Amino acid sequence: MNIPTGAAQYLERFAEQQVSCSQYALQKMGVDRANSFIKIDEYTILCAPFQLGFKRGIFLASLSKQEMTFFQRYLNGLVGVSMTFVQPNRKEPLKLFIRGSLAAIGPMKGKDNVGLLVVDYKNSPDDYVQILGSHLEYVELLKLKWEDYGKTMIKMTPDTAQLMGYNMYATITEPNKGGSRIQVFSLSSQKIEHLESMNSPERPAGTAVAYQLYFRKYRIALGGTIESAQRLPTGIVRTISSLAFSPELVEILDDYHFAERAKRLNNAQQ
């Protein structure tokens, strides 16, 4: 039996998967955000990747309503996508050109002057497949570590914060409400336990919230769901929330566990 290798293995494993182009994903893939363009007839549109797949890409562009209406005439017509990637194993930036057809164009929900352009690729260069595939493979590994690092809560002492690169600053926000600062008491890849001031509410279980955690390496934004909240005798509110998968947080915890093991080994040898 022939086992696919290189670009072929990624096409087989991740054929229908998409990469949502967060700042983290773009950075990891080495996308040069200042050098992404869509060529439509004689027009060149500066764009930003929004979602990338092996067969289709969705891009954002600053376009007026009139411009979006104008480009409707090119639906199903041939277009070209130019993207530049900065790869650590290459001395020069990798410039790729992908031919395709314009499958859809329209305003982004809630942003009338931001257009979404959907391009169905005619071909996917091997370098492009390798970049997307290796990123999806890395995220797959991080999801396994997310499960593993979710089993143990790490108490956030000053020494732990220093080793983890945590800047001792975090906030919590509810939809349509302002944010407030929290004190992280303990943390895992899947849960957070934190303390808030006496003026803070006891949020009901199931409440959707958003967290911002500030580390030296990343400023992490991630979603959470309140599991429990109680007011302590001091009046301070203690809350435990489950956390959505965050590749940045898993990466930081992975670095922390490596550094912590190295520190223990060093102390044992002294």
Per residue in 104-147, pLDDT (tens digit) is 999 998 888 999 999 999 989 999 999 999 999 999 999 999 99
Q: Residue 265: its pLDDT value, please? A: 81
Helix (H) or strand (E) holding 141: helix 126-149
Which domains occur in the chain, in start order? 6-146 (2.40.10.220), 150-269 (2.40.10.220)
**How confident is the model over 35-70, as pLDDT tens digits?**
999 999 999 999 999 999 999 999 999 999 999 999
**102 and 63 Cβ atoms separated by less than 8 Å:** no
Tokens of 176: 């349509």
Q: Residue 183: its pLDDT value, please? A: 97
What confidence category does residue 178 fall into, taking pLDDT thresholds of 50, 70 and 90? confident
CA distance 223 to 212: 9
CA distance 215 to 252: 9
Q: What is the maximal distance between C-alpha atoms in the chain? A: 73
CA distance 6 to 72: 37
Tokens of 130: 């390798």
CA distance 243 to 195: 16
Average of per-residue pLDDT values in the chain: 94
